[in-house]
């Protein structure tokens, strides 16, 4: 069955009231939903509440799903809209645009002080990056995964959502733009900055661990 046909079958099963269809859907998507909700709603309990509201909204709107996007993309869009509404309701005095403005999109992604400022080697690394441990061993992979979860959750909301959608969930740039309502150029800039920031946070954490 193609993804499209499978999505329509899942929707039909849900509309028939089949518990197993809902259980499968929750199992497949709940971790990603929580990750996306936490980009806007940092508190885990509040994020869980947002996700629950998103499920209610998704079920109520199920009959309107036409399969123009994948079911997953459609659901991600709902989670993000519910999370944003939640933030708007809680922070009436802080417009969403102000939160987004936190994500300044100018300037270099690696601290300028890491490079030589003058002389023959201007623009070359002064403070070299330290190699990360290889993720090939299960132990290191587990450690890197835990550190990256923390690093991603520390990113500004839009950068975090772009990185979760593109790099964790494997969505295309186009799907990500559609869900977040941003342009391709903005998506590429946000992803570039998110990855660079996540790398820097990982490097910082790994060197802290090495020093202790």
Q: Which of residues 129-158 bind other proteins (CB under 8 A)?
A: 129-132, 134-135, 141, 144-145, 148-149, 152
Lay out the site mask for other proteins across 30-49 (x = CB under 8 A, - = otherwise): xxx-----------------
Tokens of 125: 């690394």
Residue number, 95 or 129, with CB nearest to other proteins: 129
Identify the burial level of 116 via C-beta atoms within 10 angstroms of its C-beta, where 0-12 means exposed, 13-18 middle and 19 or more buried. Answer: middle
Question: Minimum CB separation from other proteins for residue 34, in Å?
Answer: 8
The DSSP bridge partners found for residue 165 are none
**Only segment of 3-11, 71-79, 89-97, 128-136 that touches other proteins (CB under 8 A):** 128-136
Residue number, 12 or 15, with CB nearest to other proteins: 15
The rounded Cα 119 to chain-centroid distance in angstroms is 41
**How far is Cα 184 from Cα 179, in angstroms, rounded to an integer?**
12
Lay out the site mask for other proteins across 176-195 (x = CB under 8 A, - = otherwise): ------------x--xx--x
Q: Residues 89, 195: contact at Cβ < 8 Å?
A: no
Q: Concatenated DSSP letters for 47-75?
A: HHHHHHHHHHHHHHHGGG--SSS-HHHHH
Q: Residues 180, 158: contact at Cβ < 8 Å?
A: yes
Q: Which residues make up the interface to other proteins (CB under 8 A)?
A: 15, 17, 19, 22-23, 26-28, 30-32, 52, 55-56, 59-60, 108-110, 112, 115, 122-125, 128-132, 134-135, 141, 144-145, 148-149, 152, 163, 167-170, 188, 191-192, 195-196, 198-199, 202-203
């Amino acid at each position: 069955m193609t993804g499209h046909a499978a999505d329509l079958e899942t929707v039909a099963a849900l509309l028939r009231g089949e518990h197993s269809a809902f259980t499968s859907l929750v199992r497949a998507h709940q971790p990603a939903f929580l990750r996306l909700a936490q980009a806007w709603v940092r508190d885990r309990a509040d994020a869980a509440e947002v996700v629950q509201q998103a499920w209610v909204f998704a079920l109520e709107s199920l009959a309107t799903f036409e399969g123009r996007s994948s079911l997953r993309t459609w659901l991600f869009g709902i989670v993000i809209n519910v999370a944003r509404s939640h933030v708007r309701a809680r922070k009436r005095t802080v417009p969403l645009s102000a939160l987004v403005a936190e994500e300044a999109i100018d300037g270099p992604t690696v601290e300028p002080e890491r490079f030589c400022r003058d002389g023959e080697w201007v623009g070359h690394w002064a403070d070299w990056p330290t190699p990360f441990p290889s993720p090939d061993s299960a132990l290191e992979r587990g450690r890197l995964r835990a550190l990256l979860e923390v690093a991603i959750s520390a990113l500004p909301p839009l950068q975090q959502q772009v990185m979760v959608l593109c790099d964790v969930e494997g969505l295309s740039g186009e799907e990500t733009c559609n869900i977040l309502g941003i342009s391709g150029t903005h998506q590429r800039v946000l992803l570039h900055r998110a990855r660079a920031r996540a790398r820097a946070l990982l490097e910082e954490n790994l060197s802290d661990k090495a020093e202790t």
